[in-house]
């Protein structure tokens, strides 16, 4: 559970930076200085597969359906969805451990 939580938060933060810092500076705001933020896309691109593995591992352990597994994996692509997936997984984990 901790592995998925850490990766969901990390992927959510990197996705927020990608969508709301990197993309606007690259295409709209500062077209000449977008190279300062290219590291965001690189870090997100390298760590997203780790999030996919963590989400897949969590879904296997929690015995989620195929559709739920796909939704957990895709939650890392939208800026806030990974935070929502992490909170739901945490709530389910706490309910099962009580």
Q: Per residue in 31-58, pLDDT tens?
A: 666 667 778 888 888 989 999 999 999 9
CA dist 2 and 22 (Å) reads: 28
Domain total in the chain:
1
Quick check: 30 pLDDT over 70?
Answer: no
Choice between 20 and 27, residue whose per-residue pLDDT is larger: 20
Q: Determine the structural domain holding residue 85 and report its residue range.
A: 2-97
In angstroms, what CA-CA distances link 13 with 8, 66, 75, 94, 97?
Answer: 9, 26, 12, 24, 28
pLDDT tens digit string along 70-91? Answer: 998 998 888 888 899 889 888 9
Element (H, E) at 2: helix 2-17
| Residues listed for the chain | 98
Instruction: Kindly report the pTM of this predicted structure.
Output: 0.82
Which pLDDT score, from 0 to 100, does residue 49 have?
A: 93
CA 40 to chain CA centroid, Å, is 13
CA dist 3 and 1 (Å) reads: 5
End-to-end CA distance of the chain: 15
**Tokens 């077209």, located at residue:** 31
């Amino acid at each position: 559970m901790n592995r998925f939580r850490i990766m969901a938060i990390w992927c959510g933060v990197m996705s927020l930076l990608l969508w709301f810092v990197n993309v606007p500076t690259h295409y709209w705001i500062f077209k000449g200085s977008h190279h300062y933020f290219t590291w965001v896309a690189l870090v997100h691109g390298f760590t997203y597969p780790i999030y996919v593995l963590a989400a897949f591992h969590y879904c296997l352990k929690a015995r989620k359906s195929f559709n739920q597994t796909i939704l957990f994996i895709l939650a890392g692509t939208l800026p806030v969805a990974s935070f929502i997936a992490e909170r739901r997984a945490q709530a389910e984990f706490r309910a099962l451990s009580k």
